[in-house]
Amino acid sequence: MSAPFRTLAADILEATGINAATCYQCGKCSAGCPMAFESDLRPHTMMRLVVQDRREAALAEESIWLCLTCETCSARCPNACDPARVIDALREMSIEAGVADMPRNVAAFHRAFLEQIRTNGRLHEMGMVMEYKLRSGDLIKDVTNAPGMLSRGKLSFRAERIEGVAEIKRIFEKCGVTL
């Protein structure tokens, strides 16, 4: 947890080892970002928030949840500012601070996914999709695809639970995952 007088940039530096000041706002990351089209903020503007120590704006920003983690920005950044990693850290911090503004479906997906792993150790896709629908309220999602998936043997009704599932629960605890 960061003390109130610490800058956001200092927190990011500690969490990731990245010096946000190396970003000179050239925009190459955002030029190649596949989600720029539909998000308010883009990788370089998110870096700007860090440099300007605009903590609330950064952590409560919805755009950080629209990031695909495709790593295109980090691959092309001339200064190795690794925006993908910085945005990862912003997400983690925003959950910790309790201000995460995840679009409803994205939140539902992450929660359903992680819950599945915590319970079974492996992802039971059908179980996850069910939980996702309940959480997101998007009940008819992919309903038309279900028969096709079933007939192609892609859906299993039974979840695979690993033997070491207690270890997985412990991992979640030790990492302090609250999502």
Partner 1 sequence: MTDVAYYPGCSLHGTSREFDESLRAVAAELGIGLTEIDDWNCCGASSGHTTDHLLGVALPARNLALAEAQGYDTVVAPCAACYNRLSAARLALATEDGLAEQMPEIIGHRFANSVDVHNAVELLRDASVTIEEKVADTLAPNPLEGVKLAAYYGCLLVRPFEVCGYDDPEQPTSMDEVINACGADDVDWDMKVECCGGAFSVSRTASVLRLGRAIIENARSHGAEAIIVACPLCHSNLDLRQKAMAQRGEEPMPILFVTQMVGLALGLAPVDLGLSRHFVDTEPLIARLVQRAADRVVAEKLAKEEAAAKAAARAEKQKVGAAAASGGAQGGEAP
Partner 2 sequence: MSRVGVFVCHCGENIARTVDCEAVVEALKDHPGVAFAEDYKYMCSDPGQQLVKKAIEENDLTGVVVAACSPHMHEKTFRRACDQAGLNQYMCEMANVREHCSWIHEDRGEATAKAIDITRTIVEKVKHNKPLESIRIPVTKRALVIGGGIAGIQAALDIADGGHEVVLVEKEASIGGHMSQLSETFPTLDCSQCILTPRMVEAYQHPNIKLHTWSEVEKVDGYIGNFNVTIRKKARSVNEDLCNGCGDCQAACPAKRIPSEFEAGLGKRTAIYVPFPQAVPNIPVLDRQNCTLFKGRRKGLAKDVCGKCQEVCLKGAVDYDTEDTFIEEEIGAIVVATGFQLYNIGREQPEGLKGYGEYGYGEVPDVIDGLQFERLASASGPTDGAILRPSDGKEPKTVVFVHCVGSRDPEKGISYCSKICCMYNAKHAMLYKHKVHDGRAVAFYMDIRAGGKGYDEFSRRAIEEDGAEYIRGRVSRIFRDGDVVKVWGYDTLSGEQVVIDADMVVLATAMRPQDGVRELAQKLSVSTDEHGFINEAHPKLRPVETNTAGVFVAGACQAPRDIPEAVAMASATGAKVMSLFSADELEREPAVAIVNENTCIGCMNCAKVCAYGAIEQREICTVDGHVCGHVAYVNPGVCQGCGTCQAVCLSKSVELQTFTDEQIFSEINALCYWE
**Contact partner, 25, from partner 1, partner 2, none, Cβ < 5-8 Å per class:** partner 2
Contacts 24+ apart (CB under 8 A), 27-34: 28/76, 28/77, 28/78, 29/72, 29/73, 29/74, 29/76, 29/77, 29/83, 30/73, 32/72, 32/73, 32/76, 33/72, 33/73, 34/68, 34/70, 34/72
CA pseudo-torsion sign 49, 90, 28, 39: negative
**Contact partner, 30, from partner 1, partner 2, none, Cβ < 5-8 Å per class:** partner 2
Nearest approach, Cβ of residue 14 and partner 2 (Å): 23
**Contact partner, 121, from partner 1, partner 2, none, Cβ < 5-8 Å per class:** partner 1
* C-beta of residue 43 within 8 angstroms of C-beta of residue 81: no
Taking residues 89 to 128 in sequence order and writing x for each that binds partner 1 by CB under 8 A, - otherwise, the string is x-xx--x-------x-xx-xxx--xx-xx---xxxxxx--
Output 19 or 69, the one with its CB closest to partner 1: 69
Distance CA 109, CA 102 (A): 10
Structure tokens given for 64 = 């950080």
Site residues, partner 2 (CB under 8 A): 24-33, 36-37, 42, 44-45, 72, 76-80
CA dihedral of 103, 127, 96, 100, whole degrees rounded to 10 = 10
Nearest approach, Cβ of residue 161 and partner 1 (Å): 10
Structure tokens given for 5 = 């007088």
* C-beta of residue 16 within 8 angstroms of C-beta of residue 85: yes
Nearest approach, Cβ of residue 35 and partner 2 (Å): 11
| Residue whose token pair is 């995840």 | 102
Taking residues 153 to 172 in sequence order and writing x for each that binds partner 1 by CB under 8 A, - otherwise, the string is xxxx---x-xxx--xx-xxx
Show contacts with partner 1 in window 54-83 (CB under 8 A).
66-72, 74-75
| Site for partner 1, rule CB under 8 A | 15, 17, 34-35, 37-38, 66-72, 74-75, 84, 88-89, 91-92, 95, 103, 105-106, 108-110, 113-114, 116-117, 121-126, 129, 132, 136, 141-142, 145, 148-149, 152-156, 160, 162-164, 167-168, 170-172, 174-177, 179
